[in-house]
């Protein structure tokens, strides 16, 4: 019996989705892509989940697609198309999830692992992590939305450099380029990501989830559409119990100060 490629746990309002193929550097094959999508669906359906933490077991976060599985497929083209489509659908669902998603990355992040990382909202990196696209090394091309996500994170020319030259970025370079959110020493990056996800889970769930969706949808909406949607959402937020309590607390503090 093989172990599950994805491990799902929930505690303190945080769904922890762990890539659990450490012997394969958490590379994604078709069963892993399907299991990851099921885990995202589970987090979406559970009202007790208020934030998500995505992790990779072992020394590396994610090596991207499982090249050995690709090479062994009887119909390589059909397998790759199904694998890329299945994992991309799961990543789009993760990005659209109306709950904050934190990624804890370490070791190396390559290929579709970059797409997974960039589909998260806040990225905590171990100081020794390396980032690379890796596709050209095996004669393949970006997948799982990377052509969309990467230029929006670091700019078009930097994205092209990574894709065409095979350059590897350090964590500090990734931070300077806007690829990741923060860099933490290797011994404590996991604790930092856990604390951050629990902090987000303890926050106003509707406001945080909708802020995420507004910012992510702004890439495809016009300025006018964005403004209208912001007005609609802030009006709805004001009716939520969490907002009522927080607004009353804020005005009470100001009243006391004056």
For the stretch 209-229, pLDDT in tens is 999 999 999 999 999 999 999
Give the separation between CA 145 and CA 8, rounded to whole angstroms: 24
Note the pLDDT of residue 2: 56
Mean pLDDT of 76-98: 98
Give the global pTM: 0.94
Give the separation between CA 194 and CA 44, rounded to whole angstroms: 19
Average pLDDT of the chain, as a whole number: 95
Note the pLDDT of residue 249: 87
Cβ 237 vs Cβ 243: under 8 Å: yes
Cβ 111 vs Cβ 64: under 8 Å: yes
Mean pLDDT of 11-38: 98
Mean pLDDT of 29-51: 98
Cβ 92 vs Cβ 36: under 8 Å: no
Q: State pLDDT tens for residues 114-143.
A: 999 999 999 999 999 999 999 999 999 999
Note the pLDDT of residue 255: 58
The strand ranges marked E within the chain are 6-11, 14-19, 51-56, 101-105, 108-110, 122-126, 130-132, 169-170, 182-184
């Amino acid at each position: 019996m093989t172990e599950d490629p994805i491990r799902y746990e929930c505690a303190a309002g945080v769904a922890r989705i762990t890539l659990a193929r450490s012997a394969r550097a958490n590379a994604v094959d078709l069963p892993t892509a399907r299991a990851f999508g099921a885990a995202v669906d589970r987090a979406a359906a559970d009202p007790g989940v208020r934030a998500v933490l995505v992790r990779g077991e072992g020394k590396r976060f994610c090596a991207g697609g499982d090249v050995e599985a690709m090479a062994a497929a009887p119909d390589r083209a059909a397998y790759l198309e199904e694998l890329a489509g299945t994992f991309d659908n799961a990543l789009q669902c993760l990005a659209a999830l109306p709950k904050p998603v934190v990624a804890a990355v370490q070791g190396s992040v390559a290929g579709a692992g970059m797409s997974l990382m960039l589909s998260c909202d806040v990225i905590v990196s171990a100081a020794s992590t390396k980032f690379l696209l890796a596709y050209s090394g095996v004669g393949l091309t970006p997948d799982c939305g990377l052509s969309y996500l990467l230029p929006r994170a670091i700019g078009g020319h930097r994205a092209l450099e990574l894709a065409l030259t095979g350059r590897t970025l350090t964590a500090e370079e990734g931070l300077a380029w806007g690829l990741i959110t923060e860099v933490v020493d290797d011994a404590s990056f996991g604790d930092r990501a856990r604390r951050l996800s629990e902090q987000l889970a303890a926050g106003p769930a509707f406001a945080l989830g909708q802020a995420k969706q507004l910012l992510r949808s702004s890439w495809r909406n016009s300025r006018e559409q964005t403004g209208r949607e912001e007005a609609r959402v802030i009006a709805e937020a004001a009716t939520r119990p969490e907002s009522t309590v927080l607004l009353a607390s804020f005005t009470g503090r100001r009243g006391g100060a004056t």
